[in-house]
Amino acid sequence: MDNGTNGTEFKLICVIVNFGLGSKVISTAKRCGVTGGTIALGKGTVNNRILDFLGLSDIRKEIVYMAAEKETAVHALAELDHEFEFSKPNHGIAFTTSLSSLVGTKRFAGEHMTVRSERGVDDTMFNIITTIVDKGKAEEVIAAATEAGSKGGTIVNARGSGIHETSKLFAMEIEPEKEMVIILSAVDKTAGIVSMIRENLKIDDPGNGIIYIQDTSTTYGILK
C-alpha cells in the first residue's frame, strides 16, 4: 500500500506545556514548516505538600501532537526550545518519536533551512511510558511510578471501547472513561517504573489497563 512517504522519514513531535500555550506552540512550529497539530487537554502532577494541601497540585496542561519530516521536526523542536526555554523549571517538555508512515497530510521538502544546533538530549537516554487505565486510577499510576524513581507525569482523559470494557445502562452499552498517563523515563529506570505500575495496578489482569513503551528521539525539558 502506498503510504505517501516515498521513503521519507517522519517524526511525531509531542510538546507538553501549561494550559493556554498550545496554540502558540503550533504557531511557532508552523513558521518552521509544520502544517499544524492537535491539542489534547491534560493535567500534570507536582509532588509538593504545600500545593497539595491547597488543592493546587494538579496543573492543567496542553499536549500538542504534530507530525513532520525528520529535518523539519528537528528544526521546529530547536526553535520551540529557543522560544519556550524548556530547560527552565515548569516551562514544559518536548520530544520526538519515529513514525513508520504518515497519511493524510502535505509533505515538506525541508529545503533551505537554517537549523539551530541541537541542544536536546540524545535519543538513547529516555523512553516514553504510556499507561491507559480506568478513570480514577491515574493517580495510582503516578504514585507507583514515583515510588520507582519517576519525577511525575501527565494525565490525559480518554475513552475506551474494548469488548471487555463496557457496561450497560438501561440496556445500552456504555463505554467507560479512561485516563492515559504519559511518563518520560530515563532508560535505566524504565524497567523498574513499568514493573511497579504493572504490579500495583495489576495490569496483567484482564481489563485493568495496558502499558506501552516508546523510544524518544530528541528530548528537551527533562530536569536532572
- Name all domains of the chain by residue range, CATH numbers in brackets: 10-99 (3.30.70.120), 126-216 (3.30.70.120)
39 neighbors 62 (Cβ within 8 angstroms): yes
Specify the pLDDT at position 223.
Answer: 61
C-alpha cell at position 83: 522560544
CA dihedral 53, 57, 58, 60 (to 10 degrees): 120
192 compared with 103, residue with greater pLDDT:
192
| pLDDT exceeds 90 at position 33 | yes
Q: Each residue of 133-175: pLDDT tens digit?
A: 998 999 999 999 999 999 889 999 876 555 555 555 555 554 5
| pLDDT exceeds 50 at position 208 | yes
C-alpha cell at position 194: 513499568
Provide the 3-class DSSP secondary structure of residue 120.
Answer: coil
Compute CA distances 143 → 30, 82, 153, whole Å. Answer: 37, 32, 10
Specify the pLDDT at position 96.
Answer: 93
pTM summary value? 0.74
> Model confidence at 26, in pLDDT bands (50, 70, 90)?
very high
